[in-house]
């Protein structure tokens, strides 16, 4: 599947959601490398296990934290930690990710994450992708640990606009 085909596939499914479909498609592209690094067939957003009771996959990934001694619980584990010039730390870790049966199941779960209390401040911006991107990376709980996530996401949103048939 080409990047454009991937974008159109996600965008078409995301149009039924109560959120900017360009934002959704851009997040899926960013989180999966345009679909090439999905967790299973349908985890398009890097959604970790949390309280999920369904199938999971243990996958090597990167995280960024403000402390050199961030703990993960077995079977998740830290492989390495590298100090960054920003004073933060890049971790290579094994993390449990959700493994969905369908794209619709993933999208439903994805929207549920943004309806949780720690993203309540962002929900009002859900129809404006750029403002929503800013909001989910502000506050105590951020969507992603990468400090450059927001600027990269907005760049991908601009690419998506040229790919999809709105």
Tens digits of per-residue pLDDT, 124-166? Answer: 999 999 999 999 988 777 887 788 889 999 999 999 999 997 6
Cis peptide before 53 (omega within 30 of 0): no
For 156, phi then psi, to 5°, come to -65, -35
Residue linked to tokens 């199938």: 55
Q: According to the model, what pLDDT value does residue 158 have?
A: 95
Q: According to the model, what pLDDT value does residue 138 have?
A: 86
Q: Vertex 21, ends 20 and 26: CA angle to 5°? A: 105
H/E run at residue 109 = helix 103-114
For residues 25 and 14, is the Cβ–Cβ distance under 8 A?
A: yes
Architecture of domain 3-163: Orthogonal Bundle (1.10)
Copy the structure tokens of residue 135. Answer: 């909001």
Give this prediction's pTM: 0.84
For residues 121 and 138, is the Cβ–Cβ distance under 8 A?
A: yes
For 81, phi then psi, to 5°, come to -135, 135
Measure the CA–CA gap between 96 and 47, rounded to whole angstroms. 9
Average pLDDT, whole number, for the chain? 92
For residue range 67-92, what is the model confidence (pLDDT) as tens digits?
A: 999 999 999 999 999 999 989 999 99
> Any residues with CB less than 8 A from the CB of 93 and at least 6 apart, and which?
60, 61, 62, 63, 72, 76, 77, 78, 79
For residues 165 and 10, is the Cβ–Cβ distance under 8 A?
A: no
């Amino acid at each position: 599947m080409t990047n454009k085909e991937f974008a159109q596939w996600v965008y078409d499914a995301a149009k039924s959601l109560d959120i900017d479909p360009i934002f959704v498609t851009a997040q899926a592209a960013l989180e999966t490398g345009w679909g090439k690094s999905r967790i299973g067939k349908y985890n398009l957003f890097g959604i970790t296990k949390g309280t999920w009771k369904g199938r999971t996959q243990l996958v090597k990934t990167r995280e960024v934290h403000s402390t050199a001694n961030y703990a993960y619980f077995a079977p998740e584990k830290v492989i390495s930690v590298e100090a960054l010039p920003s004073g933060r730390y890049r971790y290579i870790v094994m993390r449990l990710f959700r493994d969905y049966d369908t794209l619709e199941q993933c999208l439903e779960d994805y929207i549920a994450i943004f309806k949780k209390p720690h993203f309540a401040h962002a929900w009002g911006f859900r129809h404006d992708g750029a403002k929503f991107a800013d909001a989910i990376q502000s506050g105590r709980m951020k969507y992603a640990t990468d400090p450059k996530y927001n600027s990269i996401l907005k760049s991908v949103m601009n690419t998506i606009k040229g790919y999809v048939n709105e």
